[in-house]
Amino acid sequence: MLDKFITPVIKPLLTPIVATLHKLGVTADQLTVVGFLIGMLALPLLAFELWYGALAAIILNRVFDGLDGAMARYAQQSSSAGGYLDITLDFLFYAAVPLGFILANPAQNAIAGALLLAAFIGTGSSFLAFAIAAEKFALDKPQFKYKSFYYLNGLTEGTETIVLFIAFCIWPQHFVWFASIFAAACAITIFTRIHGGYHTLKQLETARR
């Protein structure tokens, strides 16, 4: 929901960093992989209840996630392969965070964590499945033209997810409540994406006949 407002603010801030990295020969795909590896450090850190260490790993991961896309555009390296790598590693990182809280306290966090993981599967699948169909119909990307695939909006997007992860690390004792509420919000996103995506594709198919 907030991505379309936050992204235009952040993009100009990354340009000087990207320009410097480009001069050093760093590529967008390298930033994607390094950012992923840093983000995955959150899993063991969370499991051992090192909350602020995990928070640092999560924030750095998101910084690298912004840098890789900015680098791809700056260096004119945008590609389907890079977009595929980026979104795949992003979803693995997203899943690692609730898993870390489950490992930290299975008795308390397992059910809420499982609900959140299931919700992530729903939002991710509804998001990516529509992107495949959107490519088939060559749909325009009005709000995220720089993305390598169609970016379907929803109540819970990247910005909201990162705010959630930060809240997890600052107030880990409230993980169950935060995770449960966010899973419910994800359910709304899943419903609206499936409903809106289905009817949009249905109309496109009808128009082609």
First to last CA, the chain: 34
Catalytic status, residue 90: yes
Q: How many helices (H) and strands (E) does the chain have?
A: 8, 0
For 10-43, b where at least 16 C-beta lie within 10 A, e where not — what string?
A: eeeebeeebeebbeeebbbbebbebbbebbbbbb
Instruction: Tell me which residue of 40, 48, 148 sits closest to 96, measured CA to CA.
Output: 40
Of 65, 68, 86, 90, catalytic: 90
User: What is the C-alpha to C-alpha distance for residues 162 and 164, in angstroms, rounded to an integer?
Assistant: 5
User: What is the C-alpha to C-alpha distance for residues 184 and 182, in angstroms, rounded to an integer?
Assistant: 5
Token readout for 209 is 């006949």
Which positions are annotated as active-site residues?
Answer: 90
